[in-house]
Amino acid sequence: MEKLNDTYLKVHSYESGGTVDGPGIRFVVFTQGCPLRCQYCHNPDTWDAKGGQIKTAKEVVAEVLKYKKFMEFSGGGVTFSGGEPLMQKTSLLPIFKALKRQKVHIALDTAGTTNIDETTLNLLDLTDMVLLDVKHLDDTAHKKLTGLTNERTLDFLNVLRDKNIRTWVRWVVVPNINDSAEYGEKIAGFIKQYPNVELVELLPYHRSGVFKWKELGIEYPLENVPEPTKEAIKELAGILEKQGIKTLYAK
């Protein structure tokens, strides 16, 4: 308990009743700070690690536990999202331990942008499932899209396979960047190497966060990129399904 009082987590916000960040009804903790700069980010207000509200681990655990009954009833749990939650993995460790003791289902929504050290491995031992954002398989395109290499994400996915952790891969489909049929085939071939990946979730790029870029005074790089159509998403999902990969997307 002592550790929970002495550990601090920078939180951007909480969301109760979430239904899009993992199975069942979820309580979502959006952590503050992200090392990536995705061109389509709809939460650029989570980027600055100096921002957010400082909470003790005890406060975070207490907040999550308020919703335990709803989570259990729906087969849900808590999802740690961001930002990049792994930026604060040392703080997350005692939080995950406390929540596991209470038998709360824990999902981690991450781009895997961290080094694989003991803290990462210990945290994963307490994680029931991972929602892994694979932004682009081509490293040059990944760097252009996010500002960083995809090496850490792919290393992270290898660890998830080694530990056999239930994983949903998330693919934010951005027109002209990663929405070709050829790219779909590439994703399918890649995912087949990972038996721990239960499904690929296709998330259409959307422009709902553009106003936040304007508020922060940052130029939005995808100004002329349209949102993909439902048909386009369905076609890409079809490519994966043909190869035996389960998909999830808004119909």
Of 76-84, 118-126, 161-169, 234-242: span binding ligand SF4 (CB under 6 A)? 76-84
Q: Determine the straight-line distance between the first and last CA of the chain, rounded to whole angstroms.
A: 45
Closest CA to 96 of 115, 80, 118, 116: 80
Of 82-90, 96-104, 194-202, 230-238: span binding ligand SF4 (CB under 6 A)? 82-90
Q: Is 52 in the site for ligand SF4 (CB under 6 A)?
A: no
- Alpha helices, H only, 149-223: 151-162, 181-191, 210-216
Collect all residues with Cβ–Cβ distance below 8 Å to 50 and sequence separation of at least 6. none
Residues 13, 37, 141, 152: which binds ligand SF4 (CB under 6 A)?
37
φ/ψ (deg, to 5) at 82: -160, -145
Q: Is 152 in the site for ligand SF4 (CB under 6 A)?
A: no
Of 81-89, 91-99, 183-191, 236-244: span binding ligand SF4 (CB under 6 A)? 81-89
Q: Is 84 in the site for ligand SF4 (CB under 6 A)?
A: yes
Task: Say whether the peptide bond before residue 83 is cis (omega within 30 degrees of 0).
Answer: yes
Nearer to ligand SF4, 7 or 46 (CB): 46
For residues 67 and 25, what is the distance between their CA atoms, to the nearest angstrom? 10
Residues 9, 87, 93, 111: which binds ligand SF4 (CB under 6 A)?
111
Residues 11, 25, 28, 34: which binds ligand SF4 (CB under 6 A)?
34
Please report the DSSP string for 3-67 in residue order.
Answer: HHHH-EEEEEEEEEEE-SSSSSSEEEEEES--S---TT-S-GGG--TT-SEEEEHHHHHHHHHTT
Nearer to ligand SF4, 98 or 203 (CB): 203
CB 197 to ligand SF4: min, Å = 19
What is the distance, to the nearest Å, from the Cα of residue 206 to the centroid of all Cα atoms in its chain? 16
Residues 14, 18, 24, 43: which binds ligand SF4 (CB under 6 A)?
43
The contact set with ligand SF4 (CB under 6 A) reads 34, 36-38, 41, 43, 46, 82-84, 111
